[in-house]
Amino acid sequence: MPAQIIDGKKVAEETRKQIREDVEAWVAQGNRRPHLQVLQVGTDPASTTYIGAKTRACKDVGISTGTTHLPDTISPKELKKDIYKLNNDDTIDGILVQLPLPNHLSSHDVIESIDYRKDVDGFHPMNVGRLAVDQPTFRSCTPAGILELFKYYSIHTKSKHAVVVGASNIVGSPMAIMLSRENSTGKATTTICHKYTKDITRHTIDADILIVAAGQPGLIKAEMVKEGVIIIDVGINRIADETTEKGYKLVGDCDFDGLIKKASWITPVPGGVGPMTVAMLMKNTLLAAKKSIYPDAE
């Protein structure tokens, strides 16, 4: 039997519908409408696309939003000055600096300059630290979205072997932390593979749940996994394709056509993890707004 498809587009729509209701209830109680401010440094076309998706999602759920465009020549000092202004602006609930940044800017330094209470991406060391000790926090949107998909499809992680391929600060590392904590979305035995792993098949072949965020199209093939594996493909790679309007198509890091025959569940690209990432950003922004008034809100 071929794998069942995890429909991230559908689950994201349902998630946004819930958030829309929560936002309207929040505003109906007399609160200011939540606001997300996005900072774009430079004009990277992929970044522009992602910001477009986030702006549309904000409109959909009733969160107010704006994008500040900054030149790619901006100095770290100037960029941080803009961030401090937003930190001190009571009408701004969430601040998102679109990544990647141009090479001359340190993302660590820039992220740390964001007030952690407005860090709706969940990248500030305060929020990462709180995640690591299992305290309520703004969770990184992609791994949080993957856990929402597990919840929706009743995919259990307890005592499973979860293998995470890719150790980035944005996806792999927080994903592994979440899966290994002793809570209802964790309790998995977790392996992290990365570019220094000698023989990744040794690990992937043993995975009950395989989460791939390596940025390498076709990295995971059917021979590398066992029957019944759950495949979560986080990769978003642009591949040249003249038959499409844009001249490219999106593919993940996994050989979907091969793996669908062997897996029990699989996420497509596009329409899998990506839409959930954006939905979780909406959730974090509403949470930031609530916490600005009720610090204990969860």
- Residue numbers annotated as active site: 54, 98, 121
Based on CB atoms, which residue is closest to ligand BQF, 171 or 188? 171
Based on CB atoms, which residue is closest to ligand BQF, 48 or 64? 48
Based on CB atoms, which residue is closest to ligand BQF, 188 or 234? 234
Q: Minimum Å distance from CB 51 to ligand BQF?
A: 7
Say if residues 253 and 233 touch (Cβ distance below 8 Å): yes
Query: Can you tell me the distance from the alpha carbon of 105 to that of 185, in angstroms, rounded to the nearest whole number?
Result: 35
Q: Minimum Å distance from CB 101 to ligand BQF?
A: 11
Say if residues 248 and 241 touch (Cβ distance below 8 Å): yes
Say if residues 172 and 165 touch (Cβ distance below 8 Å): yes
Q: Minimum Å distance from CB 98 to ligand BQF?
A: 6
Q: Is 282 exposed, middle or buried (0-12, 13-18, 19+ CB in 10 A)?
A: buried
Q: Which two tokens stand for residue 156?
A: 């259990």
Based on CB atoms, which residue is closest to ligand BQF, 200 or 251? 251
Residues that bind ligand BQF (CB under 6 A): 50, 53, 99, 236, 269-271, 274-275, 277-278
Say if residues 111 and 97 touch (Cβ distance below 8 Å): yes
Q: Minimum Å distance from CB 198 to ligand BQF?
A: 26
Question: Shortest Cβ contact with ligand BQF: which residue?
Answer: 274
Q: How many Å is the maximal CA-CA distance in the chain?
A: 57
Q: What is the DSSP letter of 184?
A: T
Report the sign of the C-alpha dihedral through residues 99, 119, 65, 88, in that order.
negative
Say if residues 210 and 163 touch (Cβ distance below 8 Å): yes
Q: Nearest 5 degrees, angle CA 55-CA 271-CA 4?
A: 150
Q: Pick from 41, 120, 44: which is nearest to 76 by CA?
A: 41
Say if residues 123 and 109 touch (Cβ distance below 8 Å): no
Q: Minimum Å distance from CB 213 to ligand BQF?
A: 9
Q: Minimum Å distance from CB 269 to ligand BQF?
A: 6
Query: Can you tell me the distance from the alpha carbon of 265 to that of 209, in angstroms, rounded to the nearest whole number?
Result: 9
